[in-house]
Structure 1
Amino acid sequence: MIGLKDIAKLANVSVSTVSNVLNGRKNVGQATRERVLQICSEYGYTHASGKTGKTDKAKTVIFNFSDFDRDFYMKIIHGMSDCLTENGYDLIICTNKSSGNFMNSHFASGCISLDGNITDPYIVSVAKPEFPIVLMDRLIDNETANTKSVLVDNYPAMCELVQALVDKGFKRYGYIGGLETLDNKERFSGLTDTLLNNGIAFDRKQYFHGNYREKSGYQAAKIMILSNDLPDVLVCANDNMAIGAIKALEEHNIRVPDDISVTGFDDSDAAAMAGLTTISIPRYESGYLAAKELLEMIHGTAKKEPFKLSAAIKWRRTVK
């Protein structure tokens, strides 16, 4: 069993520094704090002490997420940090499978979660009056849990994009979906519902599976190319997969947008560089608002209803 001395040795800090981090005290730099927590997470170390005083943790909020691969996380974290700093709170970032070890009222005043690996039942079990949780891009149907959701309003934005594509004359549609998240379900529903409203049937053979990473978009497009049945436009559930798909198409001398148009979702920095038509999500603002909503929950002034963020189309050169 790994202990405090082992954590301290791995992090190249003193045992007292590790103790200060785990007890939520402010006398540790952010980089050191994150390094200690990352090591605790990787080795599955759980801090079981119940001695943390209210003043130690009262100004600490944790943010857990599951994937460093997606660059928009930094924008979200920037927004959270600005809001929390303005209100005198510290932000601690946790990731990987042990994020749940830090989700308790002894360690922090509350949590913002964007981690699909943490199950709904676990969130319900820890989201108590003394430990509120703001969920990003996720809904939990449980009235007893002390949670609030901050969501992107995916459906109307996708409907608007697809209707504009229909108006441009596109008839045959392909889709690269992400993981079975609320985001993906709403984005796919926006596509199929809008097509149906225009008398266009979506062919399920044109649904390709990805995992939101660029490589999965590349592989999905490769499979689509091998079918010798290209759609007029390929709608992707995020920018990473769209960029991967474009690379695969270009390798086979299939021109974007002359031979096929491609769209994404997120408006990442990479999307702007690639000239990708996409839907822009205000990621900095979503982080700021998630932190603001959590502070209101901590102070007992928050409303229970989900907070929805609007998104907007960015037309670029990947649509003809």
Structure 2
Amino acid sequence: MNTRVTMADVAASAGVSTMSVSYTYNRPSRVSAATRDRVHEAAAALGYAGPNRTARSLRSGRHDSIGVVLGEKLTYAFEDPQARRFVSGIAEACLDADTALVMLPNLHRETDNARIRDAQVDGYVVWTTEIDDPLLDVLVETGRPTCIQGGPDHPGLNSIAIDDRAAADAVATAALHSRSRPAIVALRPDTRRESTIVRGADASDISMPVTRARLEGYRDACLQSGIEWSTVPTLFTTNNARPEGDRAAQVLLQDNAIDTLLVMSDELALGVLDAAATAGIDVPGRLAVTGWDDSPAAAEAGLTTVAQSLFDQGRSAARWVLGLSDSVDEAIWSVEERASTGRANDPQTKDTVI
């Protein structure tokens, strides 16, 4: 039986990383002459002709375009404020490189992997996806530089993200000051888009790395505050939209047992504030609320939130993919404490920057 030789086989034979093999074929200036020689010798010995038919064409010419892979409908890039910021950052890098931008949906349909693999692009920036997404291996096999925002970490691919677990711990700690009955409004745990409520949710069961890390951070803060994790309900949403946050809050607040809602996005948190206002629930007197991303709307609403720049992350990821930078920038975050947790003017609280 004739087994196809892969890039990983060449890397193992040459004693280098899969990324080094990728660079040898597509960005040879990024690896040393000695590494290039080792890769080419191993490739010749194994009968390896190149990453794939599209990637081989890159050795003789560029497409002058970059692929943006979204695990959402294409409309999400225009409807969601944070997705817009992220794509805008990529577009800024494209201006610097006189490069086109190609939008590629990854909805886990049978045709998606082939479409993304065969796209006429020089590399990819990926909006976070599942840890076991088959597309990750497909992207490695293309031999094109790829950077994933928010992870997951995957051999042969680069990533850019803040420390979501530490940020979640910090913002939850701020919200839980003198409070003891939290609930969580979480981003969807996988691609099934089912809304569920789980008490004492196990982060290891979650395949979306951002959701997993934030849930771990919230759990850290609860345990540090003496709160039994098994009592904490987490509502997983079907989408990241303001009406979904409103719906989630109505479900979680119906028994009046919750005094804190830790929410994994500003859009969802703004929906929570809508539901609280409709129900006549005082924020922060009766209920503390936190968000994530620090959008202009969150600042206007007085929402305590985790601040990060998805514009900067998109720009840095794209610059690395396009060869304009040797590395991605370190992603930074801070906790912006405002009126929704009742401590905006507390002189003992300070932002955390990592």
Q: Do both proteins adopt the same fold according to a TM-score greater than 0.5, normalized to the shorter chain?
A: yes
In structure 2, relative to structure 1, the CA distance for the partners of 1:262 and 1:59 (3 Å cut) is same
User: Per the alignment, in what secondary structure is the counterpart of residue 91 of structure 2?
Assistant: helix
User: Per the alignment, in what secondary structure is the counterpart of residue 243 of structure 1?
Assistant: helix
AA in 2 matched with 1:225: L
Cα offset for 1:96?
6.1
CA distance in 2, matches of 1:276, 1:159: 17
1:78 aligns with 2:88: yes
1:104 maps to 117
AA in 1 matched with 2:246: Y
AA in 2 matched with 1:150: I
- Report Cα offsets for 1:55-97 as digits up to 9, x if no partner: 7643211112123332112211221122222123222223364
Cα offset for 1:262?
0.6
2:64 maps to 59
In structure 2, relative to structure 1, the CA distance for the partners of 1:70 and 1:99 (3 Å cut) is farther
User: Per the alignment, in what secondary structure is the counterpart of residue 286 of structure 1?
Assistant: helix
2:138 maps to 125
Q: Is the 8 A contact 2:104 2:116 kept in 1?
A: no
- Report Cα offsets for 1:220-274 as digits up to 9, x if no partner: 1111222231x22211011111111111121111111121111101112321222
CA distance in 1, matches of 2:161, 2:232: 30
In structure 2, relative to structure 1, the CA distance for the partners of 1:64 and 1:125 (3 Å cut) is closer
1:209 aligns with 2:218: no
What is the aligned counterpart of 1:171 among 180, 199, 203?
180
In structure 2, relative to structure 1, the CA distance for the partners of 1:70 and 1:204 (3 Å cut) is farther
In structure 2, relative to structure 1, the CA distance for the partners of 1:165 and 1:115 (3 Å cut) is closer
- Report Cα offsets for 1:36-59 as digits up to 9, x if no partner: xxxxxxxxxxxxx97x96576432
CA distance in 1, matches of 2:322, 2:213: 28
Number of aligned residue pairs? 262
What is the aligned counterpart of 2:97 among 82, 87, 98?
87
Cα offset for 1:218?
1.2
Cα offset for 1:152?
2.4
TM-score, normalised by the number of residues in structure 1: 0.72
1:195 maps to 222
What is the aligned counterpart of 2:254 among 196, 202, 226?
226
2:335 maps to 313
2:171 maps to 161
Q: Is the 8 A contact 2:243 2:271 kept in 1?
A: yes
CA distance in 1, matches of 2:181, 2:137: 43
AA in 1 matched with 2:317: A
Structure 1: runs of 5+ lacking an equivalent: 1-48
Q: Is the 8 A contact 2:246 2:272 kept in 1?
A: yes
What is the aligned counterpart of 1:249 among 263, 276, 299?
276
CA distance in 2, matches of 1:202, 1:243: 25
CA distance in 2, matches of 1:279, 1:140: 22
Residue range with higher mean Cα deviation, 155-164 or 275-284: 155-164
Q: Is the 8 A contact 1:208 1:220 kept in 2?
A: yes
Q: Is the 8 A contact 1:174 1:206 kept in 2?
A: yes
Residue range with higher mean Cα deviation, 53-62 or 128-137: 53-62
Cα offset for 1:213?
2.0
CA distance in 2, matches of 1:117, 1:208: 19
User: Per the alignment, in what secondary structure is the counterpart of residue 94 of structure 1?
Assistant: strand
2:162 maps to 152
2:313 maps to 286
CA distance in 2, matches of 1:186, 1:111: 24
CA distance in 2, matches of 1:70, 1:118: 23
CA distance in 2, matches of 1:282, 1:111: 20
Report sequence identity in percent.
20
CA distance in 2, matches of 1:217, 1:233: 14
CA distance in 1, matches of 2:216, 2:266: 18
Cα offset for 1:204?
3.8
In structure 2, relative to structure 1, the CA distance for the partners of 1:83 and 1:137 (3 Å cut) is same
AA in 1 matched with 2:152: L
CA distance in 2, matches of 1:94, 1:122: 12
In structure 2, relative to structure 1, the CA distance for the partners of 1:117 and 1:252 (3 Å cut) is same
Q: Is the 8 A contact 1:212 1:237 kept in 2?
A: no
